Structure formats: C-alpha cells, structure tokens
Copies of this chain bind each other. A is one copy, B any other.
Amino acid sequence: MSLVAVGTVAFDDIETPFGRAERVVGGACTYIALAASYFIKPVQIVSVVGDDFPETMLNELRSRGADTEGVQIKQGEKSFFWAGRYHADMNGRDTLDTQLNVLADFDPILPDSYKNATYLMLGNLTPQVQMRVLDQLTTRPKLVVLDTMNFWMNIAMDDLLKVLKRIDVLTINDEEARQLSGEHSLVKAAAKILNMGPKYLIIKKGEHGALLFSEDEVFFAPALPLEQVTDPTGAGDTFAGGLIGWIAKTDDISFENMKRAIIYGSAMASFCVEKFSIDRLVELDTEKIQQRVEQFAKLVKFDI
C-alpha cells in the first residue's frame, strides 16, 4: 500500500475576524500530507518550493511520515505565496495577493519509488500538471482522487475534462458542481459529472457538510457545529487528506468505506479550522481523532 500526494507547499498570509497570521506554512499538499499521516506512512509528496522554505518545516513533515523525495527545491527562487482575508461570516474570502513564484513553471517529477502508487491524491493545481503526474505512473493506482476549483473551469476547462476521464473521485464545492455541470440541482449535477469520468463525486459544502454521490447511491456527511472557527484555510485539503489517508489505511474503495472516509476527512477538517495554519493539525493523535469521529456519529444518529 502506498500513497502519493501532489500539491503546493507554500506560505500564506491570513486575516480572519479573529486575528491574523503572517508568512505561515500552508499549501494543499502540506495539509493533505499532515492529515493523511495520522492514517498511513509514508505519504510520498510531490511539490516544489523555493530556497526560502525552511528546512525545519520539511524536517517536520518528514518526522510525521512524509517522504519528501518528490519535493523539488529551486535555488534562487521563491515559494508559492497566497494572502487572503476572510469575510465576517467566514464563508467568503478575498484573495489579497497571489505570487506563483516556483509554481509558475512547476513540472512535477515523480521519483521511481512513487510510480506504482496504490493511492494518488491530486491536490488543486492546473489540470495540465495533474495530467503530467498521471502520465508518469507505471501502474494504474487503485484510486485516484482529484481536487480542483472554479478557476480551472474558467480558464482550462478542456484540460480539466481530459483529466476527469482518468480519475476516480472528484472533490469540488457546490457552486463548482453547478458550474461544471450547468445544473442547479445537485442531484442532476452529480449525474452529469459522474458521466464525465469519476466513479464518485464528493460535493464539499463547508459548514453545511458534504455529499457523496455514486451512480446509484448518495450519502450526506454533516459538518460538526463548532464553537469557534478561527481559520478555514486548508480545510478542504485537510478533508481530502483525511479521506485518502483512511482509504489507504483500510485499502477498501467500496461505497460503504467511502462514507467512513468522508467522516474521517470531515473530522480532520473540523480540527483544522480551530487554529491558524497547521497549528491544530500537528497536535492530534489517534484517540482525539476517534473521539471526534464519534461526535459525528452521535450528531446524525436517530431511530425510526
């Protein structure tokens, strides 16, 4: 069993109504790897950083079970940087700055030891880069999960549609599902999107939970109502990391186990938002995660 995760490792500036964090560690792959590392080791990561990225942080990732052989360190270049400000309701956010830096011409290179991955998590990146990763695999993974966003639907829809034919699970939010399908009803949207290639569609709705669709089944995972959401950054990536981590650990891609994977992903995301950056994600353990998952089970339990 092996897990490869592809995505950004980066710096973020974050402002929320509850405070701000400057030049903190972020990036989809960072969140994915940290979340997945509670379920399976190693997580073989594919990314790119500049020489400004602290070696201590890469060591921290390694100490938690990340294999960083696939992380390119570009001398004389800077890491990807994103700055954003969340609205008072924490649901919307404005991007204040995006500096692609090393990401501008990122060409992912898979070490040989990654090329027969059993599980592959393609974090949000250009569809072309996601495709480049798929092209380097020597065997078809048992499950490929792909995250994307409206931005790529706007500027690279053709490439996105091509990569969708080669993956198994797509994770997007409700507005993106509507945009991708042209259907308002999420039931109709799911039917159309499942015709584009994926076997499973996961629609992430943030504080409203998540929906899982297969061709003939549907599952609704709640979000845990929280006292305090401090910083939503990385919640979607953390969700994906918990999801793929659980699947890799259990090596079971049935619909029943996808449901559990979504609950574990939701539980990890519910931790992520409690503190800035990765601060909450690095202080968990199996017992805390299991207790959180049991809260999810209790939250929706009823007998008829």
Contact = CB atoms under 8 A, between A and B. Distances in A.
A104 interface: no
B90 A184 contact: yes
B302 A259 contact: yes
Nearest to A208: B208
A208 B211 contact: no
A228 interface: yes
A28 interface: no
Contacts of A229: 185
Interface in A59-97: 88-90
Nearest to A211: B225
A220 B259 contact: no
A155 interface: no
Contacts of A220: 209, 222, 225, 299-300
A8 to B, nearest CB: 29
A55 interface: no
A218 to B, nearest CB: 6
Contact of A225 (B218, B256, B294): B218
B293 A227 contact: no
B260 A303 contact: yes
A89 B184 contact: yes
Contacts of A46: none
Interface in A162-204: 184-188, 190
